[in-house]
Structure 1
Amino acid sequence: MKNVSLIVLALCLLGCTYADRLPESKSPVKVFLLAGQSNMEGQGVVSMDHPRYYNGGKGNLVNTMKDPKKAHLYKHLKNEKGEWVVRDDVKITFRNRSGGLTIGYTGYGGTSHIGPELQFGHLVGDYYAGPVLLIKTAWGGKSLFKDFRPPSSGGTVGQFYELMLEDIHKALDNMEKNFPELAGRGYEIAGFVWMQGWNDMCESKAIPEYDKNLINLVKDLRKEFKSPNLPVVIGELGNGGPKAGGNMAAFRKAQKKGAEQIENAAFVITHDFWREPQQSPNVNHGHHWCGNAESYFLIGDALGKSIIKVIKGKDSDWMN
């Protein structure tokens, strides 16, 4: 009897060890919607290192991974052969591309850049035992005030709000065609990630109503996908770092104000992930985080940890 008790105790402890990773039992595919403008598209340089055009590769992903102080954070991105990992349990669709999560799902095609989706996908993929699908929909130079304007904000519904929905529905409708291994599972919309704001920040008349437009965007998306409590994370427009004045400071306040009024949502501070232009590939592209891959990796990391926290509804040791 004593041996049986010990076995039961051991099994209980084992169960506790894996309690934070949700069990797999032919569960529906967990779908995350990632939307926004060019910083959601992804501008983090992977390996380009031209002395003039990419600052000799400073701040690109390959060189960041070589830094002994940071290498441990990135080791999961490559396998033992030094090849970029392609996850078979985390799928992604972006425009006309679909496949396993890896580098390159940006507006550039090929494998030259990354966006927040890379590390975000690794985190949610590690969290769920079953398959995950990221549906990424983003266009550069688009405002929430006009281009993504949701129906509940009144006026003309934004062209890119409608295109965003079209992208999402198309990806969902074609999920089993693009990924036959997911056939028969069905899906659950598990979360929405919003990374946008540069164009609204640049237009003074857009800032005062950004909070309401953000609230309406989430409300309308939740209605569209019949998910009133859909977990949401909103990434701060952190370009330039902690010190901000003028339109940038006003816009960040509007973002935060809107996010705080949305139930089951979190506002994710990103300004600490800014890296100086001199240490980045694209020194003159402040609107794109100067192409710094570490910035995009850390943004994805923060967004991923935050949405898992929202999903769990409580603090977790897994996050630490």
Structure 2
Amino acid sequence: MKNAILNKLCLAILLSLFSISGFASKLAGKKLQVFILAGQSNMVGHANTHTIATLYESDDAKDKRLAQMVFKKGSGLSQNVLSEQLAEGRKTDELTGGISNDKIKNMSDGPEKTALEAKVKKHKDAYEAYRKQVASACVVSEQVYVSAIADGNKRSGPLSVGYGGNKDKIGPEYGFGLSLAQKLDAPILLIKTSWGGKSINYNFRPPSAGPYQLNEKEKNGDKAEEIRKNAGLNWRMMNETVHAVLNDLKKYHPAYDPKFGHEMAGFVWFQGFNDQFSDAFRDNYRQNMIHFIKDVRREYETPKMPFVIGVLGTNMTKEGVDKNAVSVGQREAAKAPEFKGNVVSVESYKVYDLKARKVFDGGWAKNFAQWRLVGSDRPYHYLGSGKFFVRLGDAFANAMFGLIENKMASVPSGIAVTSGEKIAFLGDSITAAGKRPGGYCQLVLSALKDQGIEITPVFAGIGGHKSNQMLARLEKDVLRHKPDWMTLSCGVNDVWHGARGIDLPSYKKNITAIVDQAQAAGVKVMLLTSTMIREDQANALNQKLAPYNDFLKALAKEKKCLLADLNADMQAALKEFPPDAPKGKQLTSDGVHMNKSGNVMMARGVAKAFGLSDKQLDESAKKWK
């Protein structure tokens, strides 16, 4: 008997593992999409799990779709089951008198009271069984994982219920993650940091908003220094938490593959309640929100990170929300001209659970057994309605996906780089000079920006360096910055330095190691053939350089790297000069280092390798002159 049970248990575990590994294989080879969710108590989430089932109460097609999204097939839940529970709740309230239990308390001890208590217990047992049924019916995602701080509830794992204020509660993360999973064919990680009772003006104060201004009472109190010190504390805690997760992504999502890396795919902000109670807090909300968005993007080096602002909607109606200065500030921040197309606000009042509010307003204490089926908290927590939080999460996901589509649509087809990515420029003195105004690196960035592609650069050029030195500093100067791309310009000094140079076999070994290590870290590589050593292809140094460049071209093909054949571009460009033009300094200032024309030549070669067309570059070049 014991062996039979053990065999069944082992089989169940194996089937589970096969299921997980099978789904993980579907996500293999795809970049991990990381979303940050942050805010105060309504991002924490105070909706008891079983209240999600009130989605079945609605005849609205959207709610029916959401019910299918959050509940497993064959769960046994339905509109009839919910109706039965509501009927049970009404009976319980009739028997008890509501949360006070006055009808039973006021009875004299005896058979009648005992019988009534037994009947009430039966109803309560049915309610507890229903709660468990709903919780067990909720979907657990294999595609979406979560690392969450929701006040004292700190958890990580597959997306499920229980990432709200306690292990039986949800916030917007549940609907958000499940809805995104229907839209994105990639592994998804949600990093949620949320603490109740916090303001953006003080607790989440972003650095660029400047020092917190104490009011007169705070100035005259004995805790002025402590108040100043703790301004922005939750901003700092949020970023410390996010960076800790980013530094160990495999721990938080099993489908993360460093070869393909991750993308800071978006940010959801849901907050505002605690900024309502001070003129300064209310008046500064719009500007604080703008500072917050810019600082988040700077912190994660993603200039146009899609950003969704959940508009405070506890006033329930458009008229009420329109009068709320914080809500208005949130809307106005989203409409700031610099955020066009990459920041959007979502109106939470539009998904408010009005049916739960009707029960609450009808006297939740007297109708407690009914109330606890539809809500679990006060109006400032959106009644703790699971229906509301699933609706809101879905609304956030729809808005986020719209921004992601905007981002993708803004990038011309055929260009390998996307906005928000990071490019490391690894090289020698030619690349070191490339970061200066007019240098080839800056011109590449400018050309990409002209196509709506905002890039964060990592400049890693050092004068005199050869392949062995670049390999030695690869981790420090490139990989630790976690770029999406790396351009590698190396070879001139390996040849030019003669006896102090690097022979071809060693060069091949060094360059291959650089490419392998970069690709293993999830960095895509573009190889640049070395530019000429003096502007005469027939000289001995250029003849010696030729097999180095031949190797780079072969390696690019083998390792599937992009290739910018700058040596060929340079030879072709030199032929365009008139025969009587001065020799030796047409593209260089000294035969090796680029002058203005040389930087333009290099920039065009690199940008074309990224996928920009001659026509696009011709337009950009008008600003380079």
TM-score of the aligned structures, taking structure 2 as reference length: 0.42
Deviations 1:238-289 (A, max 9, x none): 1131155599522221111111113410011121222342336458711100
Equivalent position amino acid for 1:171 in 2: V
Distance 1:87 1:284 in 2: 27
How many residues align structurally? 280
Alignment of 1:132-281 (within 5 A): 132-156=188-212, 157-184=231-258, 185-245=260-320, 249-261=324-336, 262-263=339-340, 264-276=342-354, 277-279=357-359, 281=372
Q: Is the 8 A contact 2:55 2:66 kept in 1?
A: no
Shift of 1:46: 1.7
Equivalent position amino acid for 2:386 in 1: A
State the match for 1:98 in structure 2.
156
State the match for 1:61 in structure 2.
52
Check if 1:312 corresponds to 2:366.
no
Q: Is the 8 A contact 1:309 1:315 kept in 2?
A: no
State the match for 2:73 in structure 1.
80
Deviations 1:289-310 (A, max 9, x none): 0111111111111111001101
Report sequence identity in percent: 32
Distance 1:168 1:73 in 2: 29
Distance 2:319 2:377 in 1: 18
Q: Cα–Cα, structure 1 residues 224 and 273, in superposed 2: closer, same or farther, change >3 Å?
A: same
Shift of 1:181: 3.6
> CA RMSD for the aligned pairs?
2.4
Q: Cα–Cα, structure 1 residues 218 and 246, in superposed 2: closer, same or farther, change >3 Å?
A: closer
Check if 1:29 corresponds to 2:83.
no
Alignment of 1:271-310 (within 5 A): 271-276=349-354, 277-279=357-359, 281=372, 282=375, 285-310=378-403
Q: Cα–Cα, structure 1 residues 66 and 174, in superposed 2: closer, same or farther, change >3 Å?
A: farther
Q: Cα–Cα, structure 1 residues 24 and 181, in superposed 2: closer, same or farther, change >3 Å?
A: closer
Deviations 1:4-42 (A, max 9, x none): xxxxxxxxxxxxxxxxxxx96612100000000010111
State the match for 1:50 in structure 2.
none
Q: Is the 8 A contact 1:148 1:161 kept in 2?
A: yes
State the match for 1:115 in structure 2.
171
Equivalent position amino acid for 1:222 in 2: R
Distance 1:300 1:255 in 2: 18
Deviations 1:104-130 (A, max 9, x none): 11121x2x2111111111121121111
Deviations 1:164-220 (A, max 9, x none): 001111121222123344243421100010000000022222111100000000100
Three-state SS of the structure 2 residue aligned to 1:294 is helix
Distance 1:273 1:74 in 2: 15
Distance 1:186 1:284 in 2: 40
Shift of 1:66: 5.3
Equivalent position amino acid for 2:235 in 1: Y
Q: Cα–Cα, structure 1 residues 247 and 79, in superposed 2: closer, same or farther, change >3 Å?
A: closer
State the match for 1:10 in structure 2.
none
Q: Cα–Cα, structure 1 residues 177 and 284, in superposed 2: closer, same or farther, change >3 Å?
A: closer
Q: Is the 8 A contact 2:27 2:255 kept in 1?
A: no
State the match for 1:42 in structure 2.
45
In the TM superposition, structure 1's runs of 4+ consecutive aligned residues that sit over 6 Å from their partners are none
Distance 2:408 2:344 in 1: 13
Q: Is the 8 A contact 1:30 1:131 kept in 2?
A: yes
Check if 1:130 corresponds to 2:186.
yes
Distance 1:236 1:246 in 2: 9
Three-state SS of the structure 1 residue aligned to 2:286 is helix
Three-state SS of the structure 2 residue aligned to 1:182 is coil
Q: Cα–Cα, structure 1 residues 244 and 201, in superposed 2: closer, same or farther, change >3 Å?
A: farther
Compare the two structures and name the one with the higher helix fraction.
2
Structure 2 gaps, min length 5: 1-25, 76-136, 213-230, 360-370, 410-625
Equivalent position amino acid for 2:198 in 1: K
Equivalent position amino acid for 1:106 in 2: G
Distance 2:175 2:306 in 1: 18
Distance 1:186 1:315 in 2: 18
Q: Is the 8 A contact 1:43 1:106 kept in 2?
A: yes
Distance 2:191 2:350 in 1: 27
Equivalent position amino acid for 2:301 in 1: K
Q: Is the 8 A contact 1:98 1:178 kept in 2?
A: yes
Q: Is the 8 A contact 1:240 1:274 kept in 2?
A: no
Distance 1:74 1:188 in 2: 30
Three-state SS of the structure 1 residue aligned to 2:283 is coil
Shift of 1:221: 0.6
Shift of 1:45: 2.2
Distance 1:36 1:249 in 2: 18
Distance 1:248 1:100 in 2: 40
TM-score of the aligned structures, taking structure 1 as reference length: 0.81
Q: Cα–Cα, structure 1 residues 246 and 193, in superposed 2: closer, same or farther, change >3 Å?
A: closer
Equivalent position amino acid for 1:286 in 2: P
